[in-house]
Structure 1
Amino acid sequence: MDAVVGGGGLLLLPALLVAAPGVPVATALGTNKLAAIFGTSTAAVTYARRTTVDWVVAGPAAGLAVLSAGLGAALAGVVPAGAYRPVVLVVLVSVAVFVVLRPRLGVVAQPARRTPARVAVAVGVAGVAVALYDGLIGPGTGTFLVVAFTAVVGADFLHGSAMAKVVNAGTNLGALVVFGVTGHVWWLLGAAMAVCNVAGAVVGARMAVRRGSGFVRVVLLVVVVALVAKVGHDQWVAG
Structure 2
Amino acid sequence: MLLEFLIVCPLVFLAGFVDAIGGGGGLISLPAYLMAGIPAHFAVGTNKLSSAMGTTISTLEFARSGYIRVKLAFFSVVAAVIGSSLGARLALHISDQYFRLILLVILPATALYLLLNRHALNSKLADSQLTGTQFLITLGISLGLGAYDGFYGPGTGTFLLITLTGLAHLPINLAAGNTKVINLTTNITALVVFLLSGKVIMLLGLTAGIFSIIGNFLGASYYKRFGSKIARPIIIVVLIIFLGKTIWDLVG
> What is the TM-score when the length of structure 1 is the normalising length?
0.92
Equivalenced residue count is 234
Contact 1:157 1:216 in 2 (8 A): no
Following TM superposition, by how much is the alpha carbon of 1:99 offset from its aligned partner in structure 2, in angstroms? Answer: 1.1
Are residues 176 and 49 of structure 1, via their aligned partners in 2, closer, same or farther at CA, if it must alter by over 3 Å? same
1:2 pairs, out of 1, 8, 19, with 19
1:82 aligns with 2:100: no
Contact 2:50 2:208 in 1 (8 A): yes
CA distance in 2, matches of 1:157, 1:229: 27
Contact 1:109 1:154 in 2 (8 A): no
Contact 2:19 2:216 in 1 (8 A): yes
Are residues 110 and 11 of structure 1, via their aligned partners in 2, closer, same or farther at CA, if it must alter by over 3 Å? closer
- Runs of 5+ unmatched residues, structure 1: none
1:115 aligns with 2:125: no
Question: Residue in 2 aligned with 1:16?
Answer: 33
CA distance in 2, matches of 1:116, 1:227: 33
Aligned residues with identical type, % of pairs: 33
Residue 93 of structure 2 aligns to a residue whose secondary structure is coil
RMSD: 1.7
CA distance in 2, matches of 1:228, 1:163: 25
Letter in 2 for 1:124: G
CA distance in 1, matches of 2:219, 2:104: 26
2:168 pairs, out of 153, 156, 162, with 153
| 1:95-134 pair list within 5 angstroms | 95-109=110-124, 114-126=130-142, 128-134=143-149
Following TM superposition, by how much is the alpha carbon of 1:206 offset from its aligned partner in structure 2, in angstroms? Answer: 1.1
Contact 1:10 1:227 in 2 (8 A): yes
CA distance in 2, matches of 1:14, 1:95: 21
- Runs of 5+ unmatched residues, structure 2: 1-17
Are residues 107 and 113 of structure 1, via their aligned partners in 2, closer, same or farther at CA, if it must alter by over 3 Å? farther
